[in-house]
Amino acid sequence: DQQVKQNSPSLSVQEGRISILNCDYTNSMFDYFLWYKKYPAEGPTFLISISSIKDKNEDGRFTVFLNKSAKHLSLHIVPSQPGDSAVYFCAARNAGNMLTFGGGTRLMVKP
């Protein structure tokens, strides 16, 4: 039973446009959400996070939105750049401080 799901395995976007990556979760006890970015042959690296008491967090070109009623979060990248091409994982933290990851979405930004 996957508690964190990323239903789009891949996404292709033109350089300069907006990339929107989506993530759904089922456990209402999750209190903190994160996005990690992974390049080939490297481990995931932390990108941005949001607490469950907020609905938006912004860091430069990256914004994470949280809709608790829908149990949905999204990552917006504006403008998208070719260097953003990577696999993006969303993750959620439970009361036991454990992270549960989604399956990942491969983003391809075309020049």
Interface residue list for another protein (CB under 8 A): 2, 6, 32, 34, 41-46, 49, 89, 91, 93, 96-104
Residue closer to another protein by CB (options 70, 95) is 95
Residue closer to another protein by CB (options 15, 108) is 108
Sheet with strand 4-5: strands edge to edge: 4-5, 19-25, 72-77, 62-67, 56-59
- CA dist 54 and 103 (Å) reads 24
Residue closer to another protein by CB (options 15, 101) is 101
